[in-house]
Amino acid sequence: MEKRVALELRGRNPSQVKELNLDNCRSTNVVGLTDEYTNLEILSLNNVGLTTLKGFPTLPKLRKLELSDNRISNGLNFLSGCKKLTHLNFSGNKIKDLETLKPLEEFKNLKNLDLFNNDVTNIEDYRNKVFALHPALKYLDGLDKEDREAEDSDAEEEDEMNGNNDSEDDGSDVEEEEDDDEDDGDISLSAVYNENLEEESSDSSVYEGSEDDEEDDDSDEEIDADHKSKIDGGDADGEPEESTRGKKRKHEDDEEN
């Protein structure tokens, strides 16, 4: 059993373990389990070959204990360190009388007890006597006081156990949604910023383009003026070139005369 316990531990600290399955590991007594398993809630020791519960550790949070198909005939008092037990399965053991069950009176939270295939079930008026011995008991061998079958008692226990976890998950979902909202906000701000940059860029392009157009217009006007002056045959002062030549010839003729 010690090797199986070490294997199931998987390198974890014993206080981190909440569920432990040691079915079929073969041992006549409980070994390898210690009081260090302070948070253990579910323990299964089916078909191990146990003949005694001596040495059973104190497990303050244990609520479900499976001990079916062993050879236990007494010693239920060794479970006294497991005050929160709600489900106890002793089916297929060697319990013969009601006196052996008396230590279970200490378990005020015990709701489900299974003694199927034990000799004690052959006692006259067995069911009524066991219910009288344990007033808090709801189900005995899978049936309530009116012989009605248990309705998913295990599922109810699991729901109660996971109730707090659900609330924690809801909180984390809210946080995730908030994170998503923040991400969306960042994206929208960056988008707006980029839009502003694009608008500024386009405005500056338009402005620069207009200046360039004005310069082009001025140069075009200068070119047109030069071109016009050449066509008209004028000089820089705007006087026609032919009239200047005519004056020069006239002056030369006057000198000859």
Tell me the CA end-to-end span of the chain in Å, nearest whole number.
Answer: 150
* Domain ranges for the chain: 2-151, 164-230
pLDDT of amino acid 4: 93
Across 203-226, average pLDDT: 48
Q: Which CATH number fits domain 2-151: 3.90.25.10, 3.40.720.10, 3.80.10.10, 3.30.565.10?
A: 3.80.10.10
pTM of the model as a whole: 0.61
Q: What is the pLDDT of residues 235-255, one digit of tens each?
A: 444 444 444 444 445 445 555
Q: What is the mean pLDDT of the chain?
A: 76
Percent helix, strand and coil across the chain, each rounded to 5? Answer: 50, 10, 40
Interacting residues of 106 by C-beta distance below 8 A, sequence separation 6+: 80, 83
153 near 87, Cβ under 8 Å?
yes
User: How does pLDDT run across 51-107, given as a tens digit for each residue?
Assistant: 999 999 999 999 999 999 999 999 999 999 999 999 999 999 999 999 999 999 999
